[in-house]
Chain A
Amino acid sequence: MSTIKPSTADFINDHTFDTVSDVELARRKVRRGQNVTSIVVSVVSSVVLALAIYVGLRLSPGWEAVKTTFFSGEYFLQSLPTVGKGMLLNIEVLAFATVGVAVFGTIIALLRTSRSSVLFPLRILAMVYTTVLRGIPMIVVLYLIGFGIPALGIFGRISPTVLGTIAIVLGYSAYVAEVLRAGFESVHPSQRASARSLGLTVGQTIRMIVIPQSLRKVAPALMNDFISMQKDVGLISVLGAVDAVRAAQIDQASSYNFTPYIVASVLFILLSIPFIIINDWYSDKLRKRELSGGTV
């Protein structure tokens, strides 16, 4: 309960912003106090947590061995060039897979949301596809495509990198198609009605109205899938493509030191950071636009 008496007279004739009422000054003081308290609490809890991790590691009996086999500066520098070269392959696969997923995912999503009776069989197929592919672990998809397609013997020899890219595209298209489908369905039917009433065809309506509007809504979810995909391109190593992970494995096999894996991890993290920042920034922007001024 406030003990300051309501002094409405202060507000009524004061239209300037040069002075602040006593009530507001009192409120600001309380808020400052609340802020100081929360900063102190967060600093203390961070320090305690960091200490606990440090002490826990130092006290574990194998810490010295772990330090030399996983965090050796010497091996780090030694494997950086080969693992880095492998990383270039990952980036290349990522670029191709992104384009592939964008195209294939959109087609699947459009089939899933179509209402035409002609497309009925394809719609069922698309539904089965998204259900099955989202259910299979990514690594199994890689094995099935990577060893299954060459076994058919139709296409001759295909490089494991290409097969790996195809597997990644198939796996991720299923997720992206579902995100896009949710986006397409979130566009209000009145927007379609409005477009059709102007004489736009079904195709024009999808291309000019539905897709642009839904992409805005699902962009954060799509970027999240992208960030997840860029680390999963490391899985193509299981097919024998010499990417960052495979290069690290080769180094580790000759030296029995696991530091190359740390090198690969650091490189993958560095690759993802820009996209994570973009994603956070964009999500934040969307949220601010929707809240427009609210604080809760």
Chain B
Amino acid sequence: MTDQPVLSLQGIKKSYGNNHVLKGVTFDVMPHEVVALLGPSGSGKSTLMKCINLLERIDDGQIWVNGTDISDPKVNEDKVRAQIGVVFQQFNLFSHMTVLKNVTLAARKVHKWKAEVADRRAMELLDRIGMAQKAASYPDQLSGGQQQRVAIVRALLTEPELLLLDEITSALDPMLVGEVLDMVQEIKQQGTTILMATHEMSFAHRAADKVVLLQQGLVTEWGTPADVMDNSQREATREFFSYFRRID
């Protein structure tokens, strides 16, 4: 491997008071990889996502993005956030802006694109997901699945180095989950580097290059989906995945 990792986490610790959420998390995400972050609720997945995006400050460890230590207090946090796209569980579209304004906001105001360039690129992406005719609609006029796909376009428009997907299908009904996951699959094929926290086990198994299992604030398994999800030697890992087998 000559590539350096897009994201490298080294011994990340984070506590809220006496609640030690992350106890030293270490793993890498390589260019063009899709890494699925799995683990039970409360294992620290969302906290880790917030730390990587500098929405929460870590208590120890280092976070490297393309060779830069972004946990250094001297880095410009706004610039770092601008290179990392994030999609949240609750979509978090700006309710007072149209779909097009939502999608182009960062391009226009942060990356200083010309409005017509941003609009053209946004319309191309919206067209690709079949939502060009919704460009002038407001978020509350869209279904959950449509809102989430718009949120993904918003995160992707400026071509971030890394895309963080934080349980993006957890607030959607089963019929809408499919349309959002299909879009993730398409983004993966375009070569975007993705770290996704998810409970969609079959999707992780099918689409992820690597799987990271987070349990009680620690990475307990790290490897290909087959290694971790099918052939683990650890009792705790097998137990975790067995819950999902039973439902399947």
Chain A residues engaging chain B, CB cutoff 8 angstroms: 190-191, 193-201, 204, 208-209, 212-213, 216
* CB proximity of B66 to chain A, nearest CB, Å: 16
* CB proximity of B110 to chain A, nearest CB, Å: 4
Complex Cα–Cα for A201 and B77 (A): 9
Complex Cα–Cα for A191 and B82 (A): 16
Whether B110 and A197, one on each chain, are in contact in the complex, defined by CB atoms closer than 8 angstroms, is no
Q: Mark B95-131, 1 if CB is under 8 A from A, else 0.
A: 1100000000110011100000000000000000000
Whether B106 and A196, one on each chain, are in contact in the complex, defined by CB atoms closer than 8 angstroms, is no
B105: chain A residues at CB < 8 Å are 198, 200, 208
A200: chain B residues at CB < 8 Å are 78, 105-106, 109-110
Question: What does DSSP make chain B's interface, helix, strand, loop or mixed?
Answer: mixed
Complex Cα–Cα for A196 and B105 (A): 12
Some 10 contacts from A to B, beta carbons below 8 A apart, are A190-B88, A196-B78, A197-B81, A197-B86, A198-B106, A198-B155, A199-B82, A204-B109, A204-B110, A212-B96
B96: chain A residues at CB < 8 Å are 212-213, 216
Whether B109 and A208, one on each chain, are in contact in the complex, defined by CB atoms closer than 8 angstroms, is yes
In this complex, the member of A198, A201, A216 whose beta carbon has the largest number of chain B beta carbons within 10 angstroms is A198
Closest to B164 in A: A197
Complex Cα–Cα for A67 and B81 (A): 73
Query: Which 10 A-B residue pairs are closest in the complex by CB-CB distance?
Result: A199-B82, A194-B92, A198-B106, A199-B110, A197-B86, A199-B81, A190-B92, A212-B96, A201-B78, A213-B96
Is residue B219 contacting chain A, with contact meaning CB distance below 8 A? no
Question: What does DSSP make chain A's interface, helix, strand, loop or mixed?
Answer: helix
Is residue B154 contacting chain A, with contact meaning CB distance below 8 A? yes
B90: chain A residues at CB < 8 Å are 190
Whether B110 and A198, one on each chain, are in contact in the complex, defined by CB atoms closer than 8 angstroms, is yes
Is residue B55 contacting chain A, with contact meaning CB distance below 8 A? yes
Complex Cα–Cα for A193 and B155 (A): 13
Is residue B84 contacting chain A, with contact meaning CB distance below 8 A? yes
Further pairs besides A194-B93, A197-B86: 8, Cβ < 8 Å: A191-B92, A191-B94, A195-B94, A196-B55, A197-B85, A198-B106, A199-B110, A209-B94
Complex Cα–Cα for A199 and B113 (A): 14
A194: chain B residues at CB < 8 Å are 86, 88, 92-94
Whether B55 and A193, one on each chain, are in contact in the complex, defined by CB atoms closer than 8 angstroms, is yes
Complex Cα–Cα for A198 and B111 (A): 10
Closest to B107 in A: A198
Is residue B53 contacting chain A, with contact meaning CB distance below 8 A? yes
Identify which of residues 148-164 in chain B touch chain A, using a CB-to-CB cut-off of 8 Å: 154-155
A201: chain B residues at CB < 8 Å are 78
Partner of A193, one of B78, B82, B88: B88
B110: chain A residues at CB < 8 Å are 198-200, 204
A212-B96, A216-B96 as given contacts; A196 in contact with B88, CB under 8 Å: no
Q: Mark B59-82, 1 if CB is under 8 A from A, else 0.
A: 000000000000000000011011
B93: chain A residues at CB < 8 Å are 194
* CB proximity of A260 to chain B, nearest CB, Å: 47
* CB proximity of A269 to chain B, nearest CB, Å: 34
Closest to B83 in A: A199
* CB proximity of A14 to chain B, nearest CB, Å: 30
Complex Cα–Cα for A213 and B95 (A): 8
* CB proximity of A197 to chain B, nearest CB, Å: 4
* CB proximity of A213 to chain B, nearest CB, Å: 5
Complex Cα–Cα for A194 and B89 (A): 11
Whether B53 and A197, one on each chain, are in contact in the complex, defined by CB atoms closer than 8 angstroms, is yes
Q: Mark B29-68, 1 if CB is under 8 A from A, else 0.
A: 0000000000000000000001001010000000000000
Complex Cα–Cα for A216 and B50 (A): 29
Whether A197 and B78, one on each chain, are in contact in the complex, defined by CB atoms closer than 8 angstroms, is no
Whether A198 and B154, one on each chain, are in contact in the complex, defined by CB atoms closer than 8 angstroms, is yes
Complex Cα–Cα for A190 and B53 (A): 14
* CB proximity of A4 to chain B, nearest CB, Å: 39
* CB proximity of B55 to chain A, nearest CB, Å: 5
Complex Cα–Cα for A193 and B78 (A): 12
Whether B82 and A198, one on each chain, are in contact in the complex, defined by CB atoms closer than 8 angstroms, is yes
Complex Cα–Cα for A212 and B98 (A): 13
* CB proximity of A205 to chain B, nearest CB, Å: 10
A193: chain B residues at CB < 8 Å are 50, 55, 88, 92
